[in-house]
């Protein structure tokens, strides 16, 4: 069994760049920065940033292009792939990218909602996640007064 799965949470390093394939399918390219923070042996705080190239196709590309911009937080699920090509100067070039299959937008400044988007969703409309009920709503729930007899439970 083989697995090629990437999960990233980070911030966009640039606005998505929208293009189209010769077939007309939309493609969005964008970069994500992920940060790692740890303490070394001396207890000093250390930081490292990694930069990732991400490619989205179809409706997913259109949605990312419409809603995301540099600095926004994003969660990406996808797979790794490496492209190889010959440059104009005759050298061989390669680039490792993440092909996005699902994205979830992070919190927006000002309290906007985040949404889930996936390659196979069939529309560019966001699938909004359920927001937790407010504490006041939970206080108004009325439970039945009847005692439950364990012998009456059918399983």
Q: How far is CA 149 from CA 21, 80, 110, in A?
A: 64, 55, 50
* pLDDT confidence band for 152 (50 / 70 / 90): low
Q: DSSP characters for 5-18?
A: -EEEEEEESSPPEE
pLDDT at 135: 45
Rg (CA), the chain: 23
Hey, is 74 helix, strand or coil?
strand
Helix (H) or strand (E) holding 138: helix 135-139
- The pTM of this model reads 0.68
Indicate the pairing of strand 92-105 with strand 127-128.
Answer: unpaired
Decide if pLDDT at 129 tops 60: no
**Backbone dihedral region for residue 57 (phi beyond 0: left; psi -120 to 50: alpha; all else: beta):** beta
* pLDDT confidence band for 89 (50 / 70 / 90): very high
Percent of the chain with pLDDT over 70: 69
Instruction: Give dist(CA 63, CA 72) in Å, integer.
Output: 14
Decide if pLDDT at 123 tops 80: no
* pLDDT confidence band for 17 (50 / 70 / 90): very high
The structural domains of the chain, with segments of one domain joined by +, span 6-143
Fold category of 6-143 in CATH: OB fold (Dihydrolipoamide Acetyltransferase, E2P) (2.40.50)
**Mean of per-residue pLDDT scores for the chain:** 81
pLDDT at 131: 44
């Amino acid at each position: 069994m083989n697995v090629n799965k990437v999960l990233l949470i980070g911030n966009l390093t640039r606005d998505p760049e929208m293009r189209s394939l010769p077939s007309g399918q939309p493609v969005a390219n964008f970069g994500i920065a992920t940060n790692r923070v740890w303490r070394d042996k001396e207890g000093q705080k250390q930081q490292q940033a990694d930069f990732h190239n991400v490619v989205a196709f179809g409706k997913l590309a259109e949605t990312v292009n419409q809603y995301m911009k540099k600095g926004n937080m994003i969660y990406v699920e996808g797979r790794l792939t490496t492209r190889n090509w010959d440059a104009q100067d005759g050298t061989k070039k390669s680039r490792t990218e993440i092909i996005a299959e699902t994205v979830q937008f992070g919190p927006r400044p000002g309290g906007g909602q985040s949404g889930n988007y996936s390659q196979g969703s069939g529309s560019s409309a966001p699938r909004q996640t359920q927001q937790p009920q407010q504490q006041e709503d939970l206080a108004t729930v009325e439970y039945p007064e009847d005692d439950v007899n364990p012998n009456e439970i059918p399983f």
